[in-house]
Structure 1
Amino acid sequence: MHEVTFEDAMMADLVPGTNYLKGDDSNYTRSEPVHMIFKFPGLRGVGNMGGIRRAMQENPIFGSSQEEAFVVLLDTRKHENWQNVYDPMSGILTYYGDNESSSQHYLSTNNAGNKALQKFFQRAYNEPESHLAPFFYFEKQVDDSVKYVGIAIPYVPGTSEVDALSLERFTDPRTGIPFENLVGHFTVLEVTAKREWLYDLKRGITVSEHAPNEWLRFLVDRDLSSRVERPLVPGERLRRRERLLESIGYRMTIFRRTQGRFRRGLLESRRCCDLCGMAVEPLLVASHILPWSVADEHQRQDLDNGLLLCVTHDALFDKGFITFEDDGRILISEMFPRQEWPRLSIDETMHLSHIPRNKAYMRLHRANIFKTSSR
């Protein structure tokens, strides 16, 4: 079995069947391997307590999101009341939620693990276009190392949502009082999670070029027919090219779905360019104020993060040659030649006909995208 040292864990890919070793510190909270695996430069990682640990999306420039980047499931093997079970033949993981107390509601746990289970099972079964965070499943070993098993998908083909995630009653052995906890059934993809993908996920880049095709295939088609990645043999260039093209195709499908929904929302509220009034619909662009590449899932769909612009003014806005004040007045970059203004139909008297309610996006555009002599 392949092993990764504690010191190397924060630079390693997640490879199925690999053991990630604990550190040498006598304080286990500082030597706990999961905590080390998910360390990212300049970003928060995951906690070092609990079987269900959420990592939130976070961009170094634009702050934290309310969406999970990913969720870590760790079978600690310490619960006598229930045993998490993974069947490698069927690929089905049965995993219990994080409520262990009769004194609280099953959705009120400290780490909000049950809330995450409920949210993502709901999305996986009913909201194919919504953000779905991957669950990375590990099993704790007797030497306190952890073995990475694969990506646990909150979805089982041929099984209904109510059967895949059920609310069950248990009895607290200390008090004899009953309590409720969730029990989830996942399909596990025994595939490698590249370090670059983990970092992209943490930064809110969900349609990443580093995402495994097996994961993208599920997002696009709900297809889990290929659970285990097939190793590439040396010199298999054609297969590598096929996987690359497949990956590009899946990522473009996800992008078109999201962008199409965003554009429809803007068109429903107005039918012309927010700046010049041009109303030829095929020439109108749903322009993100905070760019897609750095926006999180909520921001990518937030209509307050959008302007409906003609292709000319979208290009100027996207490249940072124009931006807008909070009241909608245009600002034209000093880097854009004044003699070109008439050709592209811009002047200093123009203003937006539709002003987004959330001013924070435009302030970020002015501070980070708009071209000035100092940037």
Structure 2
Amino acid sequence: MSKAYQEIITELIDRVYLKKRTSDTTRIILKKYFTQKSSRRKLTLEMLGKLPDLEREVSRERARQIISRFVDNDLPTELRRLERGLAAGDDVTLNEKSDLVQLKDLLEIVTGKIRAANKPVFAKRVQDELMMVGVIDDNIYLPIAVQLARSFGMGADFKFQEFNGHHIILESDQAPAAATKDLVQYASKISTYFGGLFSLKGLLDSSLSKVAPEFVSAIAEDSRLEYISDLIASEHDYLAVSSGHFYAFTSRDERVSRILKPIFFYYQNSLRVERVIPAIKRALTHNFRRNADERQHACLELLDSADDAIDDYCFRTGLLQESAPGYRIAGPKLTSELSTFEPGDTIKYQVVALNSIRLNGSPIDSMSLGRELRGKVPEAYKSFIFTYPTLYYKEGGGRRNDHYKPLDDSYIYDGDLASPSSPNLERIAYIKRKITDLIVELDSLDLQTGILGKARMEQTMLREYLLLRQSSLLENCESAIGSCEICGKAWPHSILIAAHVKPRAKCTHEERGDIDNIAMLQCVTCDSLFENGFITIQSNGLVAVNRDKIMTKDLAQLYNSIEGRRAYYLNGNKSRLLYMQYHWENIFNG
């Protein structure tokens, strides 16, 4: 029937002005104005005056006069003639003006549907329902149709409000701002409170009624969820996550971003998703309990089932990305912010606890951790340290049975602080001592003695040390696979090299002894490129390539896979920054 609408209004305009001395300009403007589609915003008067079909442009005032005359004078005149003919039983008049009868019937259906709808409602919802029953299709623009209905004397006890490019139908006494801006602002606040996302059902939780705008209760209960969903979806930075069960605003991710920054600042490798997402939830839970208000209960209940939504949200906003199935690394948005990260006191005290856990060599119970932190952590921070940690996690059924573990489940052996039960832990300690002894010996030797052999021994032991440090000391101890810290690919140990960031010959005695920072594991290809200044790592941790060097097709292909990749060697350590600065200035010639 929508085709009929187009035909009806077109034929009606031609018939009304058939015997009148009316220019083609009038008909062109009227037809264009009353047949515009709902997919377009309303044509302005200025646009109507510049239609390409016109012989010459007309002013905005002239276009307005043409429309007003048709709606206020010519169309009502035609209706009065129809009514007189019908009253007199004049079949000829009825037949001649059948287009007017059809248009009236159509507009009665449209306006009747609008009146019956629970308002506020998006105009597209009403239009879609009319299309489903075959009354119209998308070739009718509802605000224009209602304007025509007024010419037929069909009063409109409702109004249209444009918002974010959509038309919303309101009751005549409903405030547009309350139905649009106030609700979006409320959803935005709740979203920020929750960390950037929230569920639509949670938004309407009865426990939030004290903080929700009054207008929420004015919306019919059976259409409330539908309307607010449509309203929020009209926002430009809206995301539907977790199969539409949650909504999110991309511009409201500050809270989750603040939680993830220290995690990936201190953990340079991939983390399992079941470690990362619970860490976010623990921090959000702490926030809800610390700032307890009417939203607390609803948010805590929702948080229990939000794992998939949080993960999806972090992916969609670029805070996280997948490194392997079930594993997460910092996403592009988070990576760009890590270089400027400065930990606050809460994070600094968490690091103290994390180091105590790592140096324990195995999971540490609550009592032992408490003793380790005595005098190191102020009382004001202990609640967060023990109950809502983000840099580590706890497992167990109570304080005496709780055990704290790093997010990567990896521990560090340091002298007598760890249990020497693993031969790998003992080997790391031995290598560290042996390298220190070799450096002292090499400094005391002259060129004519066995300096070359001892230098090779130092390099071999440094490589073994880095490989053992990279491996999980409690899992996969015997693994012969490692990863290059430039390209990130997995390689057999025989392919990996202990690459000095600052050339060993240029290092001081203290720098050569800084074995935790002076070198990094690289595959033979990346080592050659790094050593010869073809690639480097920028201060923000991203791999950069030197395109001033000789280029080949194969080299360009390799660059595509590593340029811009985050190398986790730069972790905020000042020594590492200085070593890489030397490489940038003297080898890469940045």
Interval containing the TM-score (normalised by the shorter chain): 0.3 to 0.5
Q: What is the TM-score when the length of structure 2 is the normalising length?
A: 0.22
Q: Specify which structure has the higher proportion of helix.
A: 2
Q: Specify which structure has the higher proportion of strand.
A: 1
By relative contact order (CA 8 Å, sep 6+), the higher-ranking structure is: 1
Pick the structure with greater CA Rg: 2
Q: What is the TM-score when the length of structure 1 is the normalising length?
A: 0.33
